[in-house]
Amino acid sequence: MLSYSRIAAFSICSVFAACAYSGDKTTADMAPPSAPYAKVSSLVKLPDFIPGLGTLYVAPETLPAGPFLGYDKDGRLSATIYMIPIKALTEGTAWNELKTGAAEVDSVDIYYNAGHPGVEEPHVHVVLFHDDMARQRLESK
């Protein structure tokens, strides 16, 4: 018979295991990620490398929310980005169970964006940085 402490320990382990596998296993730590991900600059007219976000890849069927995978100039996965249209959000649209590019998240930035090709309406960027130097690497010009 299992004790409560063992059940609790098992539950905690299960949660950690689930977290460890919550990353999207179709993605890659190094660019390019496998299909259906495609480079954003090949889908719409945008710079290859966007300061603050990096070189972006997205699975087109997940637009507009993403996840977008942001790689630094050395091709290392550094951020996962979601782009959430404000109008749809205020009208009640929800985005659930969005994948992450990697399980580890060091910090998150959330800010307004006026729009760009691919997500032209005003929206919110939710940026998950995957390590403590990721932000700095993605800012590099």
Kindly write out the interface string for residues 41-60 of this chain, putting x where it contacts other proteins by CB under 8 A and - elsewhere: ----xxx--xxxx-------
Residue 25 or 141 with smaller CB distance to other proteins: 141
Return the CA Rg of the chain. 17
What long-range pairs does 34-40 form, CB within 8 A, spacing at least 24?
36/60, 36/61, 37/69, 40/68, 40/118
The two tokens of residue 130 are 């995957």
Please tell me whether residue 137 binds other proteins under the rule CB under 8 A.
Answer: no
Please tell me whether residue 4 binds other proteins under the rule CB under 8 A.
Answer: no
- Omega cis (within 30) before 67: yes
Residue 1 or 114 with smaller CB distance to other proteins: 114
**Residue 50: exposed, middle, or buried by beta-carbon count in 10 A (0-12, 13-18, 19+)?**
middle
Smallest separation, CB 132 to other proteins (Å): 20
Residue 23 or 54 with smaller CB distance to other proteins: 54
Please tell me whether residue 111 binds other proteins under the rule CB under 8 A.
Answer: yes
Smallest separation, CB 79 to other proteins (Å): 13
Residues in 115-134 at the binding interface with other proteins, rule: CB under 8 A: 115-117, 120-122, 125
Pairing outcome for strands 68-71 and 77-85? antiparallel
Would you tell me which residues interact with other proteins (CB under 8 A)? 45-47, 50-53, 111-117, 120-122, 125, 141
